[in-house]
């Protein structure tokens, strides 16, 4: 049996001859990104063997081999992940409180005693809010005594190394081994983040008494170790409803600590959107407001006259830079903005001020939007056949638009953007149609999420993700999953209030719509 060594991870194991490097990495619990789940399409599982770049999923081990994988620590340090979002003023009324009786401190969870502590520890009372995103994790340590954030941290969700989007992650976790793998890597990451935050704040982790999980429905299943298989099969039933407390035994916090799960709206409109509704106070809006969380799972809510309707669309991983030839996450070397001047000159902004190495999601939308606006890409998504432009040249026998020397946009990349934006656009139209509205009736569009915050209105309109009638109506509200989760942490009255709000939201299942396929096809055009 050949021996394989993952040099960066300091792990060695014996494997069967003919095992792929990707399979061996998973056996060794080495996180190796493979958005296409090992079918050789995405090209993201590159590793080095004898100083040569190879695809781990297509490389078979037949002899002793040493593999080098690029460390994720550097990527985590340079990634641009937004931690804050829109919020509002509310009184401080946390679920966890402390009272000192002269000898000991009594710790309460609501009206129930959680534990007692010797001496006066009333100034050591903390909670955590974590936005468990499909791609990223954002965590805040909050002082429950004054409501102030003590420290924050963000990083990639390590589960994305095994399955990139929500549906593929549900599939991966549908058997016990897959579920255990995804929960374990997530718990390891969360505990490391908790340890780092406690160190930054100068406290011990046993002074943390509550954690609020804000994430989509599938992510809550994986975090709680609940098999998400029913989410991937009709009638798509969630085994978690939210609005409940679960054990925090696997988290490095107080042994008496609790995890609170905000209410979910449906199987694919989760607690992150409930948190967003709270942070944006959509349930009290007297205007017609369209709230959209742009990401791999495009979730959206339409508010009008105290009525809330919601839906979700499978936008896929293109907006995260995945399934794109030169796609990458928003770290050093990623093109994050792009424009073409009237004289044809191109300007671009690269994260870190280094040479361009790839394109992140915001840059991708900018590039496609500008090429559509200038006619280099037609409405059908094809490069204009008669356009003579220096940057438009052959790559692997097909036309490609070169943004930098080794960074380009291919025809397949454009198709991926069409599919992603078409999914979200058709969801928007479906919500409006349900309430017999048009885009003209919308007073404001709120774009939520860390990714959404780095977009610009012009690109959203140029690619047709938003109808043209929404021009000058767009507001970027940031990571409301995090800011709404903080509101849940700091005022327990919101827990019952939002349980009622979530229950009253009308959920639209697009898969059940008779004409959705036609609407989706119509929405693909730029």
Instruction: Name the residue ranges covered by the structural domains of the chain.
Output: 3-70, 96-273, 285-317+416-522, 326-411
pLDDT in tens, 109-135: 999 999 999 999 999 999 999 999 988
The class of domain 96-273 in CATH terms is: alpha beta
Q: Does the pLDDT value for residue 79 go beyond 70?
A: no
pLDDT tens-digit series, residues 289-344: 999 998 778 899 999 988 999 999 888 778 877 789 999 888 889 999 999 999 88
> What are the helix (H) ranges across 8-148?
21-27, 72-78
Q: How far is CA 97 from the centre of its chain?
A: 32
Alpha carbon distance 310, 314 (integer Å)? 14
Which range among 47-56, 168-177, 201-210 shows the weakest confidence by mean pLDDT?
47-56
Both tokens assigned to 189: 């990451």
pLDDT at 215 over 90: yes
How confident is the model over 493-514, as a mean pLDDT?
Answer: 92
Q: 285-317+416-522, which class in CATH? A: alpha beta
For residue 518, give every residue at least 6 positions away whose Cβ sits within 8 Å of its Cβ, in sequence order, or none.
none
Structural contact between residues 20 and 61, judged by C-beta atoms closer than 8 angstroms: yes
**How many angstroms separate the Cα of 100 from the Cα of each of 109, 117, 127, 195?**
15, 9, 19, 27
Bridge partners, 337 (sequence order) = 349
CATH 3.40.50.300 describes domain 3-70? no
Question: Is the fold of 96-273 the same as that of 285-317+416-522?
Answer: yes
> Which letter does DSSP use for residue 16 in this model?
-
Mean pLDDT of the chain: 91
């Amino acid at each position: 049996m050949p021996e394989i060594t993952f040099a960066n991870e300091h792990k060695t194991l014996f494997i069967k001859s003919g095992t792929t490097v990707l399979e061996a990495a998973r056996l060794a619990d080495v996180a190796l990104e493979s958005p296409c789940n090992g079918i050789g399409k995405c090209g993201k599982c590159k590793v080095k063997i004898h100083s040569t770049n190879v695809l781990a999923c297509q490389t078979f081990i037949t002899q002793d081999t040493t593999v080098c994988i690029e460390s994720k620590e550097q990527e985590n340090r340079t990634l641009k992940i937004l931690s804050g979002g829109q919020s509002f003023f509310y009184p401080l009324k946390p679920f966890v409180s402390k009272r000192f009786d002269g000898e000991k401190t009594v710790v309460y969870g609501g009206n129930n005693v959680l534990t007692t502590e010797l001496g006066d520890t009333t100034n050591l009372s903390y909670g955590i809010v974590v936005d468990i995103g499909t791609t990223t994790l954002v965590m805040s340590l909050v002082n429950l005594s004054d409501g102030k954030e003590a420290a924050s941290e963000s990083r990639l969700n390590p589960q994305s190394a095994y399955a990139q989007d929500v549906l593929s992650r549900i599939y991966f976790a549908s058997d016990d081994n897959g579920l255990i793998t995804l929960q374990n890597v997530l718990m390891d990451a969360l505990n490391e983040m908790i340890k780092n935050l406690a160190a930054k704040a100068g406290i011990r982790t046993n002074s943390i008494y509550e954690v609020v999980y804000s994430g989509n429905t599938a992510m809550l299943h994986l975090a709680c170790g609940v098999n998400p298989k029913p989410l991937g099969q009709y009638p798509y039933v969630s085994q978690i409803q939210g609005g409940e407390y679960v054990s925090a035994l696997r988290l490095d916090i107080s042994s008496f600590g609790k995890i609170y799960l905000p209410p979910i709206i449906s199987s694919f409109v989760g607690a992150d959107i409930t948190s967003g509704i709270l942070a944006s106070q959509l349930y009290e809006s007297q205007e017609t407001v369209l709230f959209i969380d742009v990401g791999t799972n495009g979730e959206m809510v339409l508010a009008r006259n105290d009525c809330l309707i919601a839906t979700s669309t499978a936008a896929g991983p293109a907006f995260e830079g995945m399934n794109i030839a030169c796609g990458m996450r928003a770290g050093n070397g990623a093109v994050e903005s792009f424009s073409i001047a009237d004289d044809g000159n191109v300007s671009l902004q690269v994260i870190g001020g280094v040479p361009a190495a790839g394109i992140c999601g915001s840059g991708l939308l900018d590039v496609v939007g500008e090429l559509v606006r200038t006619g280099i890409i037609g409405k059908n998504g094809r490069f204009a056949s008669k356009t003579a432009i220096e940057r438009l040249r052959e790559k692997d026998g097909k036309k490609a638009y070169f943004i930098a020397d080794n960074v380009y946009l291919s025809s397949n990349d454009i198709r991926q953007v069409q599919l992603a934006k078409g999914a979200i656009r058709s969801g928007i139209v479906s919500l409006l149609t349900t309430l017999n509205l048009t885009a003209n009736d919308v007073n404001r569009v709120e774009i939520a999420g860390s990714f959404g915050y780095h977009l610009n209105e012009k690109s959203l309109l140029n690619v047709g993700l938003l109808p043209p009638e929404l021009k000058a109506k767009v507001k970027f509200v940031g990571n409301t999953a995090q800011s709404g989760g903080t509101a849940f942490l700091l005022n327990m009255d919101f827990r019952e209030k939002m349980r009622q709000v979530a229950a009253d939201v009308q959920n639209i299942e697009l898969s059940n719509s008779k004409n959705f396929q036609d609407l989706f096809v119509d929405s693909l055009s730029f």
